[in-house]
Amino acid sequence: MKRIDTQTKATDKFGPGKHGFTNGNPTIPTPATELDESWFDHVQEEIANFIEEQGIVLDANNRTQLAAAITAKLANGNYLRGNVSSTLTAGFWTTPVAATVNAGDVTLPVASGNRFTLTATEALTILAPDPMPAGGSARLELTIDAVGNHAISWGAGFRVNHGQIDTDPNVVNLIHMEFTGALIDVHITQRAEA
């Protein structure tokens, strides 16, 4: 694709280097933009190629072929999947991953996602991921079991900026974490009672 570049173009009409067309003005006098086949060839081929890529045969009597080609492109699930960020494809923010508990130590498998779930059935220490992410955010949905009152503590690297973990039975704690590379800023809320 290219912008019009004839001598009588409307220079910088849409910004620096973004020339356009003018009808001209005989009273000034400003000539109308001269048209050249190269520009029209570019426009024609850009549009025609897109239509043909969608398997549509060009038809001089059909003025809705570009719209049909755009609709066909967007209806193709593979096109949409190809343009979804790899983070969403991997399940980040869409598919919860179980946090890992080993001898009371909780680790967050940040290579597998950034939305975690865990039910506390014992005293726990939440540990910072190793290696620590350089940036980004995560959420841990920490549910306390029906017994409750388990001690929950933080390992090194966490800075709780708001809220605290409620260890009463059946409480759901929503722990939001922001990774800075050296620290994890934490904001804790609880899910409202149903």
What does the pLDDT profile of the chain (194 residues) look like in tens digits?
788 889 999 999 999 999 999 999 989 888 999 988 888 898 999 999 999 999 999 999 999 999 999 998 888 666 655 656 555 555 556 688 999 999 999 999 988 888 999 999 999 999 999 888 888 889 999 999 999 999 999 999 999 999 999 999 999 999 999 998 889 999 999 997 64
Token pair of 39 as six digits: 């520009």
In the numeric block, the tokens 């343009």 are attached to: 83
SS3 call for 61: coil
- What's the pTM? 0.55
Strand partners, 106: 101, 126
